[in-house]
């Protein structure tokens, strides 16, 4: 056994697994410490990956050489591309997964990753020493009394720090159902000067599907032609999919739920943590939307070979008796049996304005935070932070430049910039609306955007590089063909008529025809033989066809957004000295001075995004720095 490492990762959730895998794959000797080695990347809440904006993040993780996309594809039991009826910037992949298989695949991946060691234990103390007048983490101590040393430590403790679970007026310590909480680390960090707070999340009841009448529900099937998350050609889409179901509450159900409000820990002040506004509990919905007679719920399988189902939209901390009675009043749930009731959980977090963009803490050198300890929620947001923290921990140890993604490069860049610049006042969840350049940050082009970066930092495998280069070449050749190849009116008149599109009056380039709303590139391929022969000859797949269609149809929007991004990016090039005294600039507002001094932005661009710093304040800073 060894007790000295380059990187130690605390916590085996989604952030911890990605952090450990990234660090080890970069060649760093890495140790991952977790309470339970049977629950790596456990899907404590919904057994699904992706969704609006979250799906884009997973594709970015994959393009950067992370593992989440691959493991999701290998455990998918249903795939859907959300928001197909909206613009391409909104298209978001989502997969329902086999919960047990997902975690087992993560364990298999970690156990077979070179340079990575695993240890089952609870870390209850960081070893922090004074190095050149700076608090510096040099290792950890565990509940079993084992001491490990490392050049960097990444804390990804999720909901376990001070975890407290609530069902009605009953509460118990724990990081999730069946697992104990962790103590000691929060108290130590607060003593070192960190600010800590409490947040809250919840999870719904788990149901035995044998007790339900599934015929009473509206089936929700997966896509007819399912896609996948990973850009690797060796990974294939799911073949056999399981259905989900739409379920509806009623006024009767709501009346029963209201009988438990007097015992609700949420309403009676027993829960102090801040909950997610966009994912409210069922009791919160009844209070916020009191005029609604019903709410839509989603009944989703937890795996391929289990009867356990998840009732999405029914998160609750009401007494278990109230939950069961209310459920039995839903059509098709009359004889319901449950495996466990829904519950709420409170946990410690650290306001992320205490971090650099690398996710290293400002107060303790070589200590990184990733995941829910930073005030985020969601597997995808956590995994993205873990990847970034893992890469940066290794790069700093080697004296290499920081790995930081900008807001126009990735949703991951938006996520981390929002956290460290704006902070959080509720659990942070990514939405497409948070990204100002979302037409650039689409799910379909994540590999074209980020695989070159993965190659540069050392996380892209030869297979990934080969896949990227082949796709890039095919996209360029097909796009060039469509932009140059002409088509006569008679050659596609039948197709134009079939989609109610105006006939051509003269020969046109294929790209000029494709920009019409009702025209698709697949339609042109099927109805214009020279194009079809070109596609077949070059073995061009659907992913390349979709990419080219988007780039041509939305070229004007893409070019305009790229120009805007480049213009605003100039502010990112204006650096602010590390120890700059903002209080000395008396011509900016007091609020701006206070916010700038607390967050200490590294560029004018970052300063401009801090709430409370006005455009007038930025202009004064620009003048001060000679711009």
223-226 CB contacts, 8 Å cutoff, 24+ apart = 223/79, 223/80, 223/81, 225/542, 226/76, 226/78, 226/79, 226/80
Structure pTM?
0.94
Q: What are the structural domains, with CATH classification, of the chain?
A: 202-342 (2.40.30.260), 461-564 (1.10.10.1800), 574-624 (1.10.150.570)
**What mean pLDDT is predicted for residues 597-619?**
90
Determine the Cα–Cα distance for residues 5 and 26; give it in Å rounded to an integer.
14
pLDDT at 626 over 80: no
pLDDT at position 569 is 82
DSSP strand pairing (147-155 vs 4-10): parallel
**379-397 and 14-25 helices, crossing angle to 10°:** 30
Does residue 370 register a pLDDT over 70?
Answer: yes
Record the tokens describing residue 559, joined without a space: 């070019």
Between residues 564 and 114, the one the model is more confident about: 114
- The Cα 26–Cα 306 span in angstroms is 37
Instruction: Write the CA distances from 160 to 35, 61, 191, 274, 370, integer angstroms.
Output: 10, 24, 19, 16, 13
Other beta carbons within 10 Å of 49: 29
Query: DSSP state, 176?
Result: B
For 560-581, the pLDDT digits (tens) are 999 988 888 888 888 998 889 9
| Token code pair at residue 487 | 């088509």
What phi and psi, each to the nearest 5 degrees, are found at residue 163?
-60, 135
**Among residues 232, 605, 223, which one has the least CA distance to residue 446?**
232
Taking Cα atoms as reference points, which of 468, 12, 396, 41 lies closest to residue 231?
468
pLDDT (tens digit, 9 = 90+) per residue, 312-325? 999 999 999 999 99
DSSP 8-class letter at 274: B
- Segment among 28-37, 187-196, 396-405, 571-580 with least mean pLDDT: 571-580
- CA atoms 141, 142, 148, 150: torsion sign: negative
CA dihedral 130, 136, 137, 138 (to 10 degrees): -60
Cβ neighbours of residue 575 under 8 Å, at least 6 residues apart?
A: 602, 603
Give, rounded to a whole angstrom, the gap between the first and last alpha carbons of the chain: 56
Tokens 């149901």 belong to: 207
């Amino acid at each position: 056994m060894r007790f000295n490492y380059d990187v130690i990762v605390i916590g085996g959730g989604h952030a911890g697994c990605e952090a450990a895998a990234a660090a080890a794959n970069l060649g760093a000797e890495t140790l991952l410490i977790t309470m339970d080695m049977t629950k790596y990347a456990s899907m404590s809440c919904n057994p699904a990956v992706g969704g609006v904006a979250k799906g884009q993040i997973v594709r970015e993780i994959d393009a950067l050489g992370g593992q989440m996309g691959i493991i999701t594809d290998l455990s998918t039991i249903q795939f859907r591309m959300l928001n197909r009826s909206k613009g391409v910037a909104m298209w978001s992949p989502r997969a329902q997964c086999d919960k047990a298989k997902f975690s087992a695949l993560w364990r298999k991946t970690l156990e077979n990753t070179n340079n990575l060691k695993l240890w089952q234990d609870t870390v209850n103390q960081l070893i922090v020493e004074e190095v050149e007048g700076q608090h510096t983490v040099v290792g950890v101590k565990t509940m079993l009394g084992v001491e490990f040393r490392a050049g960097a430590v990444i804390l990804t403790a999720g909901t376990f720090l001070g975890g407290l679970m609530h069902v009605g007026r009953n509460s118990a310590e724990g990081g999730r159902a069946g697992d104990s909480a962790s103590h000691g680390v929060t108290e130590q960090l607060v003593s070192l000067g960190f600010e800590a707070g409490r947040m809250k999340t919840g999870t719904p009841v788990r149901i035995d599907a044998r007790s339900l009448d599934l015929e009473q529900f509206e089936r929700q099937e997966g896509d007819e032609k399912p896609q996948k998350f990973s850009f690797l050609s060796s990974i294939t889409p799911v073949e056999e999919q399981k259905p989900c179901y739409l379920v509806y509450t009623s006024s009767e159900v709501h009346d029963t739920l209201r009988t438990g409000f007097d015992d609700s820990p949420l309403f009676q002040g027993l829960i102090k943590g801040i909950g997610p506004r966009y994912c409210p509990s069922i009791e919160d919905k009844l209070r916020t939307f009191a005029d609604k007679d019903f709410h839509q719920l989603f009944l989703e399988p937890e795996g391929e070979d289990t009867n356990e189902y998840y009732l999405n939209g029914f998160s609750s901390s009401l007494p278990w008796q109230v939950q069961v009675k209310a459920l039995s009043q839903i059509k098709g749930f009359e004889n319901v049996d449950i495996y466990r009731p829904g519950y709420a959980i409170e946990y410690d977090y650290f306001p992320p304005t205490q971090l650099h963009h690398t996710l290293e803490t400002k107060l303790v050198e070589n200590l990184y935070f990733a995941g829910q300890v930073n005030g985020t929620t969601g597997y995808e947001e956590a995994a993205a932070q873990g990847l970034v923290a893992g890469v940066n921990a290794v790069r700093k140890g080697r004296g290499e430049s920081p790995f930081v993604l900008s807001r126009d490069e990735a949703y991951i860049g938006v996520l981390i910039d929002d956290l460290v610049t704006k902070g959080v006042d509720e659990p942070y969840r990514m939405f497409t609306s948070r990204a100002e350049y979302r037409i650039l940050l689409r799910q379909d082009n994540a590999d074209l955007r980020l695989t070159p970066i993965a190659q540069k930092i050392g996380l892209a495998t030869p297979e990934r590089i080969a896949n990227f280069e082949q796709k890039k070449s095919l996209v360029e050749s097909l796009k060039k063909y469509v932009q140059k190849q002409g088509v006569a009116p008679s050659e596609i008149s039948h197709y134009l008529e079939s989609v109610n599109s105006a006939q051509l009056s003269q020969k046109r380039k294929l790209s000029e025809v494709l920009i019409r709303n009702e025209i698709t590139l697949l339609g042109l391929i099927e109805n214009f033989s020279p194009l079809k022969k070109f596609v077949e000859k070059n073995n061009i797949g659907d992913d390349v066809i979709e990419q080219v269609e988007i780039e041509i149809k939305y070229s004007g929007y893409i070019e305009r957004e790229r120009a805007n991004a480049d213009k605003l990016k100039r502010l990112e090039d204006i650096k602010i000295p590390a120890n700059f005294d903002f209080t000395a600039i008396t011509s900016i507002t007091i609020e701006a001075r206070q916010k700038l001094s607390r967050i200490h932005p590294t560029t004018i661009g970052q300063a401009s995004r801090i709430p409370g710093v006005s455009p007038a304040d930025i202009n004064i800073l620009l003048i001060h720095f000679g711009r």
